[in-house]
Amino acid sequence: MTEVSSRNPPPRRYLALYFPWLPSERLRIARPHAFVGREGAPYAVIEKAKGAQRLHAVDPVAAGLGIEPGATLADSRARVPELAAFDHAPHDDHVWLERLADGCARYTPWVMLDAPDGLVLDVTGCVHLFASETALAADAVARFDRLGVVVSHAFADNPDAARALARYRTSGASEDEAVRRLPVAALGLDGEATLALKRAGLKTVGDVVVRPLSAIAARFGGDAATRVRRIIGEADSPLSPRIVKPPLYVERRFAEPMARTDYALEVLGELMAEAFVRLEESHEGGRRFVARFFRTDGLVQRLAVETGRPSRDVTLALRLFRERIDALADPIDPGFGFDLIRLDIPVAERLDASQLKLEGGAVAEAELTALIDRLSTRLGRGRVRRFAPRDRHLPEQAEFTLPAVEPASPETWPQSEPGEPPLRPIHLFDPPQPIDHVLSEVPDGPPLKFRWRRTLHDVARAEGPERIAAPWWTPREAPTRDYYRVEDRRGRRLWIFRRGLFEEGQPAPSWYVHGVFA
């Protein structure tokens, strides 16, 4: 008999980071020119609310003078005349929070945004890299301190407890006791529900937890009971990781910060070689490469390149990264140095060994792909495009453009029979150009003469018609198109069509030139 052993998974651990001065600190760091000569002066971030300009956030100096968020700007300046005001930019604050989250990817790939001013890290299985939770938190706090960002942190077994402890800073003999000592405001309910709990004599989370949740839900709403279950770990948190763990990544940490970009690229090449060995074992090649340069102050420089085909060519990928760096408006700033470089390969596809074609062409195709990669990297992913077929009957809708580095469309271009002329012209007018003075032997036959661009064309040969009906979702009375391939006596070959049919009581059909054959 085989002995079956069961092993319980380790308990999950979460690290919450709370940035109490995020809007004001973001302004000071991102716009240092606005604070020249104002060192130590109070300032606030304002927004329009309830018909007045109110303070959304303040800096520590203003807070020390008794200025609080929510007050009107007029009242605040009456108390502190030198108070400077800046407009609230929630989008910029969110982007700044995303950048801080990028920096936390050095600790765990599972970083969750707790907008607008916090992060939650799932550090389960990652703590041993820093010896202890205390060492991990100390490392994070030190990095944010070098950047000039104040952060408060807390560990817990679930995200809600961690974020509440980081914000309200209670303590106890155990984590459960600390959570129970939290004020009811830590539940994150709206002001009215929080006030109702306080008026009922429930001052702390512990006061609420000991009550039957059915009674809490009946009196204070179902959301209150759900928040209680989440903070004590009986219900899942709605937070989700912002970064999906890439299928393959390699990284290198440095004991001493590295301040040279050239050397950082050399290390990136070594990481590529290491990653490509692993890709070769799985018969895959990378299509998208993301390099992250982690600065010692917590910020991250991120670069991404793509290739048109799966690749394990270190020289090619490294050259694309150099092209990307050369195209940057601002060069990579190592600051006080990089202490971690990571290479992610989020997109990899099958890549087997290939044999050169006897008829040739493979080398030219590879050179074309390399050119597309370089142009897309330097000019931008969406600026180098190519045509792809689409399953539509109307000619002007039968193709579309997509970035040239995108995978090929599964649709195929229509092919004419061997020895036959092409079915579609190489140049298509959109919209079709009208023609007039059309003369035919019979009303619904091909034209013998017509005038286009103020020139009279005598038709020498004509072939057709090829009837294309309107899409089924358009009204039934939508006119059809009868296409003809014609050649005039000067040898010019055109693709023309008659829109509509000769029917009694209906307007006369109109003629158009839709394309020119080569």
Tell me, what's the pLDDT at 243? 66
**pLDDT grade for 440, boundaries at 50, 70 and 90:** confident
Phi, psi of 18 (to 5 degrees): -120, 130
**pLDDT grade for 13, boundaries at 50, 70 and 90:** very high
Tell me, what's the pLDDT at 245? 62
The answer, yes or no, to whether residue 505 has pLDDT greater than 80, is no
Tell me, what's the pLDDT at 1? 39
pLDDT digits (tens, 9 = 90+) for 389-432: 888 888 888 888 888 888 777 777 777 777 777 778 888 888 88
Query: Which is more confident, 47 or 393?
Result: 47
pLDDT digits (tens, 9 = 90+) for 320-336: 898 888 887 777 788 88
**pLDDT grade for 188, boundaries at 50, 70 and 90:** confident
Buried b (16+ CB within 10 A) or exposed e, 91-120: eebeebbeebbbbbbbbbbbbbbbeebbbb
The answer, as to whether pTM is greater than 0.85, is: no
Tell me, what's the pLDDT at 2? 39
Let me know: does 67 contact 56? Beta carbons within 8 Å.
no
Tell me, what's the pLDDT at 61? 92
The predicted model gives 196-205 an average pLDDT of 89
The predicted model gives 129-139 an average pLDDT of 90
The answer, yes or no, to whether residue 3 has pLDDT greater than 60, is no
Top-confidence range, 175-184, 388-397, 499-508: 175-184
Tell me, what's the pLDDT at 361? 55
The predicted model gives 513-517 an average pLDDT of 89
pLDDT digits (tens, 9 = 90+) for 470-481: 877 777 677 888
pLDDT digits (tens, 9 = 90+) for 275-296: 999 998 888 889 889 999 998 8
Across 1-5, 37-41, 161-165, 361-365, least confident range: 1-5
Phi-psi region of 98 (alpha: psi -120 to 50; beta: other; left: phi over 0): alpha
Buried b (16+ CB within 10 A) or exposed e, 468-491: eeeeeeeeeeebebbbbbbbbeee
Instruction: Find tokens 């597309």 and name the residue.
Output: 372
Tell me, what's the pLDDT at 167? 93
Q: Which amino acid is at 375?
A: L
pLDDT over 70, % of the chain: 95
Alpha carbon dihedral 130, 133, 137, 142, in 10-degree steps, equals: -40
The overall average pLDDT reported for the chain is 86
Let me know: does 59 contact 76? Beta carbons within 8 Å.
no
The answer, yes or no, to whether residue 249 has pLDDT greater than 60, is yes
